[in-house]
Chains A and B, each alone.
Chain A
């Protein structure tokens, strides 16, 4: 008789790096955030082996949601292969045993910085967005306790005034990334620094989006089937970036959000910002049978989600 025949084989009894009480706190805050869409919930942001400002907020949410069967995808500005995305993906896999993927369709959990994938997310997927500055009122109200009161009162006059001022002074709304949006007709949130192109993807989406700021210690959420309406005047329509006509120089795809690559002669080439979607397009073009999902944008135009 040997010792090993008397004991169970080794199994992980805990996963996801954070201890049980830390996860429980974040879970509770996520539930609150889902219950009041767009409303920022403070939480006790824990230490993780990564510097604040590099996605610790998103990481803590991912670590709480992950289990050994979750299929994880991590992107940074649309790319799966940037150093930051690769490190977070490796870390998540290492501490949970979860499989990882680059394919948006296969992922259950997608942690992202600054982008939402081009393929539509579905009800079995959760998107975690890293947020540097969660407070949309910061630019109009530097005092955070007054800002909280303004959220409480739905006092967003100053936000609207900011848009008015931009149109008067520049002829158009200058806000690019982090375009403020009204969630469920009640709370204005910053959708993290995603481009304007991506904001409509949150409107009436099928998936759950959790936004988390590690340094600022705030979690907020957009539950499935929730209205997310960018702040715009009735007679000045919302405009996404003019990328609808650009062609990806590597895959030949058109009508998606592009990265600009400056060329030596001063002109610029473009490539699809969602790197894995670009790869899929190339492989399809080369005759491979690749499963590509529906995209939010078709021919550079968004499908009406409502």
Chain B
């Protein structure tokens, strides 16, 4: 008797993001070596790995901030085709501004500390061409509310806000334009545990309500477990193991992953 296996439903849809065989070195440091990843619409891909394993570098490539030495990157969006690393600076910038949202580990990278919080969010809308003040304000407020930012502090500069609130401003900025892809680089690292839980809750709720496709970098397995569908384990610039979160956490194959999971438990 032959058994025919239907592919799982998830695989039947086209991938939103496909990054293939990317490598990047900084002088002698091979930050990322021959990494490939696929992300399907509505899915959350987690990336774990020790410090210096190339997680942030990979995420910066997905945000088209960093061009690798080799490799290709495609997004399944109507306005683009082909390898996105071949786009010119202007096309890259427009694509990022309109379709990709990012939350950096360090809020200083993502926010203008001396501008108002609402202005930080409005900037995205301005880059996308919104020219009505009333609309800018309303939409900035909506995005901040969606990321559970206290609205009475709408016009305070991020400089004066707590770390958790700064991350919420970054998040509001990232989702203001309903991005096709949301990149999160250690969004909760550096926050105290209770605030961490609140930010995670917000992310989870956003994910459920809007089905945003996310790539989430963290070295915290708990965070990955809470949010991600699939996980990729990186070490020294390479992917050592990838699979469904449950599978990886229950039954890690690679010695490094085993070590990681056991250390956590």
Q: Which residues of A contact B (CB under 8 A)?
A: 149, 152-153, 155, 157-158, 160-161, 164-165, 167-169, 233-236
Contact = CB atoms under 8 A, between A and B. Distances in A.
A153 B93 CA distance: 9
Interface centre among B133, B135, B136 (most CB of A within 10 A): B133
Contact of A168 (B93, B119, B127, B132): B119
A157 to B, nearest CB: 4
Contacts of B123: 157-158, 161
A168 B116 contact: yes
Q: How large is the interface on B (under 10, 10 to 19, 20 to 34, 35 or more residues)?
A: 20 to 34
A233 B119 contact: no
Chain A's interface: helix, strand, loop or mixed, by majority?
helix
Contacts of A235: 132-135
B155 interface: yes
Interface of B: 89-90, 93, 112, 115-116, 118-119, 122-123, 126-127, 131-137, 155
A158 to B, nearest CB: 7
B115 A233 contact: no
Contacts, number: 47
Contact of A155 (B93, B131, B155): B93
Given A160-B131, A164-B133, A168-B118, 19 more contacts: A149-B89, A153-B90, A155-B93, A155-B127, A157-B123, A157-B126, A158-B123, A160-B126, A161-B112, A161-B126, A164-B122, A165-B119, A167-B133, A168-B116, A168-B119, A169-B155, A234-B132, A234-B133, A235-B135
Interface centre among A149, A168, A233 (most CB of B within 10 A): A168
B89 A164 contact: no
Contact of B132 (A149, A157, A158, A233): A233
Contact of B119 (A152, A155, A164, A234): A164
A121 to B, nearest CB: 30
20 contacts: A149-B89, A153-B89, A155-B93, A157-B123, A157-B127, A161-B115, A161-B119, A161-B123, A164-B126, A165-B116, A165-B119, A168-B119, A168-B137, A169-B116, A169-B155, A233-B132, A233-B133, A233-B136, A235-B133, A236-B133
Contacts of B112: 161
Contact of A233 (B90, B93, B131, B155): B131
A164 B136 contact: yes
8 A-B pairs with the lowest CB-CB distances in the bound complex, closest first: A233-B133, A157-B127, A160-B126, A157-B126, A234-B132, A161-B123, A153-B90, A236-B133
